[in-house]
């Protein structure tokens, strides 16, 4: 999430806690002013919308809402997970794809 945060600054919201309280291989973040469904349809990797148990629905995740995430941020939530065989290149590729899908943004 730090690569997306560097590109989009205050438009990025890290959902559900700070880095020490999150799983080390999973990031859930929102990019304000977007819809995760639309963004993820334009990238060449697989990620999920919303929370783990809610990614197939068009409504905001109740898990995210109970965690203090706004309805708008919940609808723009993207969850990316990496496995033991994932590399730094995989993470950089995901950031590049998200940046391409969203277009360059001036902070």
- Report, as residue numbers or ranges, the catalytic residues: 53
d(CA 69, CA 61): 9
Q: Contact at 8 Å (CB) between 16 and 28?
A: yes
Q: Contact at 8 Å (CB) between 10 and 31?
A: no
> What are the start-end ranges of the H helices in the chain?
2-8, 36-40, 62-66, 71-75, 88-102
Q: Contact at 8 Å (CB) between 81 and 25?
A: yes
């Amino acid at each position: 999430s730090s690569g997306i945060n560097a590109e989009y600054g205050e438009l990025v919201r890290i959902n559900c806690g700070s880095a020490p309280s999150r799983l080390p291989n999973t990031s859930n973040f929102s990019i304000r002013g977007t819809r995760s469904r639309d963004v993820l349809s334009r990238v060449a990797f697989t990620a999920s919308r919303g929370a783990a148990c809610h990614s197939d629905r068009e409504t905001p995740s109740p898990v995210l809402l109970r965690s203090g995430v706004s309805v708008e941020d919940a609808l723009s939530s993207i969850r990316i997970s990496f496995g033991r065989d994932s590399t730094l290149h995989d993470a950089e590729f995901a950031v590049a794809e998200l940046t391409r899908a969203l277009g360059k943004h001036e902070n």
